[in-house]
Every structure is written in C-alpha cells, then in structure tokens.
Structure 1
Amino acid sequence: MVHIVVLGAGIGGIPMAYEMKDLLGPDDRITVVSNTDHFHFVPSNPWVAVGWRTRDDIMVPLAEPFARKGIAFKSVGCRRVLPQENALDLNDGSRLTYDYLVVATGPELAFDEIEGFAPQSNTISICHVDHAVEAAKRWEEFCRNPGPLIVGAVQGASCFGPAYEFAMIADADLRRRKIRHKVPITFVTSEPYIGHLGLGGVGDTKGLLESAMRERHIKWITNARTDRFEPNAVHATEIGDDGQEKAHHVVESRLTMMLPAFRGIRALQGVEGLVNPRGFVLADKHQRNPTHRNVFGIGVCIAIPPVEKTPVPVGVPKTGYMIETMVTATAHNIRALLDGKEPAEEPTWNALCLADFGDTGVAFVAMPQIPPRNVNWSSHGRWVHLAKVGFERYFLRKVRKGISEPVYERYALKLLGVKRVQEQTRETTNV
C-alpha cells in the first residue's frame, strides 16, 4: 500500500488528486492538504473585483467531492515540508508521512517587497478571492467618487494576463455606469512592451493589446520598476533598454491594482535541495525534484527561468493548460515508479489563455509556452468573453463532480479551433 500526498488544492492540486486516484490500486491512499476547505476559480477574480461575480459564484467546498472520490482531505495547512523525513508538519501540530509528495501549493504574494504595496495598504488585489471581495467594496467607493486608475504588474511579476483583464473589465464597467470619462487609466508594467506577458509575446499579442488599449484610451508605461505606492500616487522608474534609468514617473491614482511578484510559500522556503533561493520547487523534465526523488512539483510553485533577459525582471507565467500537462505527466510518472519503472512522461507545457475584456477579449495559444514554438497563435473578439464564461462553468463542474479529464485540452482547445491550427502545422511539417 502506497500513500501519496498532494500539497495544495488549486487549479493544479485538485486535478492532480483526481488523476492520480484513477491510477492507484484499491489499497493505495491519497491525501490532499490545503490551507482552506474550498476551491476558488482564480481566473474569475477580476469579475469579482467589479461586482460581476460573488465569492459563492466561483467557490466549491471540497470535502464532499474528495470524499466521493475516496480522497482524504486535511484543510489545516502545512507549516513545514520535511523531505528528508518524508513528512509534512501541519498547522494543527500533527505530522503526515508520505511515500510520494506532489507540491502544488501556488505562490506566496510578495507585497512586502515594495513600500505601500498590499490590499491592507495603498493597493487592491485580485490574486485571491478574499482580496477580490475586498476590492469590490473599494471599487464601489471609487465609482461613487471616480478619478485616476492605475493597473499593471510590478518587477518580478510572472502573471500578467489578469492585469490586462482587470484594466479592460474596469473600462467596460465604467462605460456601463457612464462614468468612464471621469477615469483616466494608466497601465504600468515591468514588461518590455505591451503584450510581452512574460513569454516574449504570443502571436500578435503586442499589436492586439496595444490596439485594445488605444481604443479604450488607456495610456501605458513599460519597462517600469515600481518604487513605492502612496495613497494617491504610484512612483515608478522607467528603465531603458541599456538598463539605465530613463525617466521617473509619479502617476496620480485614486485606485491602484498591480500584480505582485511571487515566491514559494513559507513551508517550502529554505528547504535544502528542494527549492531555489526564491522558494520555488526545483523540478526536472519529469516534474521530479533532482534531490528528493519521491517529490514532484507542479504549477505556479515550480522554478522556471525567464524566457529572455529584459531591462526590468519579469517571470514566466504558469498557465492552466501548462499546469494541466504537468499534472498528467506527474500522475503517470508516479505510476511508473510504483510499477518499478523510471519516469518517462514529459509535460508539453502548452499554454492557452482566455483574456476577458468584459465585452470582448483576446485569446492566445502557445505550443509550447516557451519559444521557439510549433504553434504561435492569437485572436480576439466577443467570442473570447463567451468562451471564458463557458470555461469557468465547465471547470467548476469538474471540481464539483470529481472529473479527471483534462479540461483545457478537451474543452478549451476544441472551443478555440486549435485542432485546425495543429492540423495545419502538421501539414506544413509534412510537406
């Protein structure tokens, strides 16, 4: 009998538990450890922040679906990962031992790295549903007394899509309220250009997103190193391509939402051989830790180097489809180890993003996510908004029903018609 522990119950951890359960024998055990008793669909947080969704709309209590699948669940959180002892010290004082561990924790949000940067201070956040709920209250206050709005992502950030979404959704909501003319919007980002996304761009994301911002009268500052946040202003230094300071900006703001840099959670930080100095889990091409060979890492918590050097540091996003391929590879690699074989499965690290703009949107597909790519495609239109609404419902249903099928591959790719793109790529390759 083997015991597998999945640390984390988010977009990576839940599918990991479901897929792994399907590959285990009747006497094998799987336990999920989380610091919360529910799942929330993070991609919907921009909607929550402007009141288009409530907390309950995007949350699923996890005890029942896990119980139906025969998966043990502990929602007390982890205080320390102890790979030398094959154990987790949990926050309730208990210890949980494992034969194999899959780390799927997501990140810690590094608000403390910049002065005045936090939901409790001078900014709002959409990184967690609790943040988004509080942001919605401040959004209503802002709309009653509108003024300049700043949106963007700071240095070291690796998740840029939600910033673009919030800027565009805010624009759409302000237009519906007929107060858009009272709100100058500035997008401040560490990216070297609009649409870089930490990926060197995908298809024509640069042109699509610049055009969308021009249409909506959103100004932008790129290569921005954010220095500090004040109640009514953001201080940022624009860095030139030569790495030298180019200009200092003090941008007035009545409301600010910028995405932070990430780091590994405290339970992981400083664990020798397991994580890098930033606290991200080290993993080989099979998602396996090189030092602790019975530990795997998936999702936002793993270490991935930047795709290229940029004047201001930016990270690489770990998108849902990319995470899904990590999950499937990891589940089969653990099964191989249980059968006395060596891991052979490698995730494709493909990326698919549906960036909703409130009444339209931009979608992109990168196969693989990190260039050079076999498929490098982007498109836009109202269909993207409708697609994301449908995808939200489908993923929440997957969590509730304990469905182990790969959602991004079987639903989202069909929805976007990427099979046609893949077929065209194969035909070109075969010529």
Structure 2
Amino acid sequence: MAHIVILGAGLGGLPMAFEMKEQARQTDTVTVISNAPNFHFVPSNPWVAVDWRDRDEIELPIAPILAKKGIAFIPVGAQRVDPEHNKVLLDDGREVDYDYLVIATGPKLAFDEIEGLGPQGFTQSVCHVDHAEHAKDAWMKFVEEPGPIVVGAVQGASCFGPAYEYTMIMETDLRRRKIRDKVPMTYVTSEPYIGHLGLNGVGDSKSLMESIFRDKAIRWICNAKVTKVEQGQMYVTEHDDDGKPKKDHVLPFKYSMMLPAFKGIDAVFGIEGLVNPRGFVLIDEHQRNPRYPNVFAVGVCVAIAPTEPTPVPTGVPKTGFMIESMVTATAHNIRAMLDGFNPTQKATWNAVCLADFGDRGAAFIALPQIPPRNVNWFGEGYWVHLAKIAFEKYFIRKMKKGTSEPIYEKIVMQAMGIMKMKDH
C-alpha cells in the first residue's frame, strides 16, 4: 500500500491525479493538495480579461470531481516540502506523509522582481483568473476613456503565447467597439524577435507575426528589459544582439498587461538537489528528481534549459501537449516502481499551441518542442479561433468527467490533416 501525493490541481495536477488513480493499485491512495478549492482553465483567461467569458464558465469546484474518482483532496496550501522525511508541511500546520510525490504546482509569478509590475502595481496579468477579473474591470474603464496600450512579456518570462493572444484579442475588441483608432499599441518583449516564443521560433512564426503586427499597426520592441513601471508609464531598455543596452524608452500607457517571469513556489524554493536556483524542479528523462527518486514533477514547475542563449533572458514554455505527455510518463513510471521495476517511460516534449486572436488565430506544432524538429509548422486562420473555443469546451468537460483521455494527440492529427490539404 502506497500513498501518492500530487501537489497542485491545475492543468497538470488534475490530469495527473486522474491518470495516477488509473495506474495505481487498488490498495494505493492518491491525494491532491491545492492552495485553492477550484480549478480554472487558464487558457481562457485572456477572454475573461475583455469580458468575453465569465469566471463561472471556466471554473470548477475540485472536491466533488476528485471524490467521484476516489481521490482524496486537501484544499490547503503547502508551506514546505520536506523530501528528506517524505512529508509535505501545510499552511494550517498539518503534515502529509507520502511514498511518492508529484509536484505539479505551476509557477510563482515574480511580479516583485520589477518595481511597479503586476496587479498590485500598475500593470495587468492574465496568468490567473483573479488577475483576469481585475484586468477586466480595468479594461471596462479603459474603453470609456481609451489611450495608449503597452503589452507583452518581461525579461525571464517563459510563456509568450498568452501575450500575443491578449494583444490581438484587445485589438479585436477595440475594433468591434470602433475605438481602435484612438489606441496606439506597443508590444514589448524579451524575445530577440517577434514570434520567437522562447522556442527559437516555430516554422515561419517570425515573418507571420511581424506581418500581422504591421497589418494591425502594432509597434514592437524586442530584446527589451522592463526596468520600472510607474502610473501611466513604463521604463524599457532595448538591447542589441550582444546584450548591450541600445536605447532607453519611456512608454506612456493608459492600459498595460505584461507577463511576468516565473519562479518555483516558496514550498520548494532553495531545497538543494530538488530545485535549480530559480526554484524549478530538477528532473531526469523519466520526470524523476535525481536526488530524491520518489519525487516527480510535471508542468510549468519543471526545470528546462533554454534552447539557446538570447541577448535578454527568456525561458522555455511548457505547453499543454508537453504537460500531457509528462503526466502519462509519470503515472506509468510510478506504477513501475510500485511493482518493483525501474521507470522507463519518457515524455515526448512535443508542443502544440492554439492562440485565439478574437476573429482569427494562430497555431503552431513543434515536434519535438526543442530544435531540431521532425515537424516545424506555424499557421493562422479563422479555423484556429474555432478550434480554441472547441478545445476550451472539451477540456472543461474532460475535467468534469474526471477522465485522463488525451486531447493534444487529436489536435495534432487534425492539424496535420489541414497541413496535408494545404499541400494539395
């Protein structure tokens, strides 16, 4: 009999719980620990932030879903992981013992690394549904008295898709309101070029995104470090290809959304052998920590080295397809260890992304995510907008049912079919 604890109940944690329950033996116990009682579908946050979705449309209570599957749930945050003694210390003082631990917490949002950044400062965020609701309130005031927008991702950010997505969703919403002509838009990013995405680009992403930005009259600044944000203005230093300061910008704004850098959560930060200096969990090819072999990690909390050095630091995104494959590999590897065998399963680390632009969208497939690739494709069109809506409905339905059925493989097969039709 083993106790398998999953820390986190988001896009990685809940699927991990479902797959682990299926793989576990009848005598094993699976427990999920989360600092929140509800699951929310993070990819829909940009829609919430312009009032295209209500919070209750993308949020689900976790407890009844897990109870149906016989999975225990503790809705209390983790204060500290103690891998030396196989314990998780909770914020309420309790201790939870484990035989196997899967860390699936997602990141800590490092707004504090830049003065004035974030919802507690002067910029908005779409990283959490609470932030998205705050952004929506600010957006509704903004459209009454429009002005300049500054949007993008700061140095050290590792998830660029939502920044592009929210940029274009705002642009679409402004056109629908017939006030786009009153809103200059500037995209600020640590990426070395538009469409880099933390992945050294995918397919023709650079020229395609530059073309879209030109068509929509969106100015951009790359290789950018945000040094400080004040009420109504952002201080940005643009760097050259050698990483040397090139030009300082003071950008006025009436509304701003900037994605922050990510770090590991406080519960694991600084634990030698478990995490790297930024607090991301160190893993081997089987999702297992090298120092603590009964600790695994999946999702955004995992340490992945950048594909290449960039003039301004950029991280590597962990997209849904990659997370899905991490979850499956981890569940099978823990079962192998329960049966007395060594883990053998490896995540594929492929990447699929659907970014809605409000009336169109962009999609990329990178197989594998890190170059060189077997498939390296980027496309756009109205079909992506429809696919993103369908994906949202399907994933939320999947979570309600508590099923581990893979979804990204289906997306890849459908997209590959579209690619073949275009070729003909």
> TM-score, structure 2 length as denominator?
0.98
Hey, what does 2:100 align to over in structure 1? 100
Cα distance in 1 for partners of 2:418, 2:406 equals 15
Is there any run of 5+ residues in structure 2 with no aligned partner, and where? Answer: none
Any conservation in 1 of the 2:118–2:258 contact (CA below 8 Å)? no
Taking the TM superposition and a 5 Å limit, the aligned residue runs for 1:202-221 are 202-221=202-221
Hey, what does 2:53 align to over in structure 1? 53
Hey, what does 1:429 align to over in structure 2? none
Hey, what does 2:11 align to over in structure 1? 11
**Taking structure 1 as reference, are residues 314 and 381 closer, same or farther at Cα in structure 2, changes over 3 Å only?**
same
Indicate the SS of the match to 2:143. helix
Cα distance in 2 for partners of 1:191, 1:403 equals 37
Is there any run of 5+ residues in structure 1 with no aligned partner, and where? Answer: 425-431
Q: CA deviation at 1:419?
A: 9.1
Indicate the SS of the match to 1:39. strand
Cα distance in 2 for partners of 1:167, 1:19 equals 35
2:407 pairs with 1:414? no
Hey, what does 1:428 align to over in structure 2? none
Paired letter, 2:292: H
Q: CA deviation at 1:32?
A: 0.3
Hey, what does 1:31 align to over in structure 2? 31
Q: CA deviation at 1:415?
A: 3.2
Cα distance in 1 for partners of 2:207, 2:390 equals 26
Indicate the SS of the match to 2:386. helix
> TM-score, structure 1 length as denominator?
0.96
Paired letter, 2:159: C
Hey, what does 2:199 align to over in structure 1? 199
Q: CA deviation at 1:25?
A: 1.5
Hey, what does 1:162 align to over in structure 2? 162
Hey, what does 1:176 align to over in structure 2? 176
**Taking structure 1 as reference, are residues 2 and 420 closer, same or farther at Cα in structure 2, changes over 3 Å only?**
farther
Any conservation in 1 of the 2:352–2:364 contact (CA below 8 Å)? yes
Taking the TM superposition and a 5 Å limit, the aligned residue runs for 1:69-88 are 69-88=69-88
Paired letter, 1:415: Q
Hey, what does 1:135 align to over in structure 2? 135
Q: Note the alpha carbon deviations across 1:144-203, whole angstroms, 9 max, x for none.
A: 000000100000000000000010000000000000000000000000000000000001
Q: CA deviation at 1:74?
A: 0.5
Q: CA deviation at 1:414?
A: 3.3
Q: Note the alpha carbon deviations across 1:303-332, whole angstroms, 9 max, x for none.
A: 111110111000000001110010011111
Cα distance in 1 for partners of 2:178, 2:412 equals 36
**What is the total number of aligned residue pairs between the two structures?**
421
Any conservation in 1 of the 2:306–2:316 contact (CA below 8 Å)? yes
Cα distance in 2 for partners of 1:364, 1:296 equals 28
Indicate the SS of the match to 1:417. helix
Paired letter, 2:13: G
Indicate the SS of the match to 1:202. coil
Any conservation in 2 of the 1:208–1:362 contact (CA below 8 Å)? no
Cα distance in 1 for partners of 2:417, 2:73 equals 36
Paired letter, 1:338: L
Any conservation in 2 of the 1:154–1:189 contact (CA below 8 Å)? yes
Indicate the SS of the match to 1:84. coil
Q: CA deviation at 1:120?
A: 1.6
Hey, what does 2:348 align to over in structure 1? 348
Indicate the SS of the match to 1:85. coil
**Taking structure 1 as reference, are residues 29 and 420 closer, same or farther at Cα in structure 2, changes over 3 Å only?**
farther
Cα distance in 2 for partners of 1:363, 1:243 equals 30
Indicate the SS of the match to 1:355. strand
Q: CA deviation at 1:26?
A: 1.4
Indicate the SS of the match to 2:121. coil
Indicate the SS of the match to 2:84. helix
Any conservation in 2 of the 1:186–1:220 contact (CA below 8 Å)? yes
Paired letter, 1:93: G
Paired letter, 2:303: A
Q: CA deviation at 1:418?
A: 5.4
Any conservation in 2 of the 1:413–1:419 contact (CA below 8 Å)? no
Hey, what does 2:66 align to over in structure 1? 66
Cα distance in 1 for partners of 2:275, 2:418 equals 37
Hey, what does 1:400 align to over in structure 2? 400
Any conservation in 1 of the 2:306–2:315 contact (CA below 8 Å)? yes
Q: CA deviation at 1:420?
A: 6.8
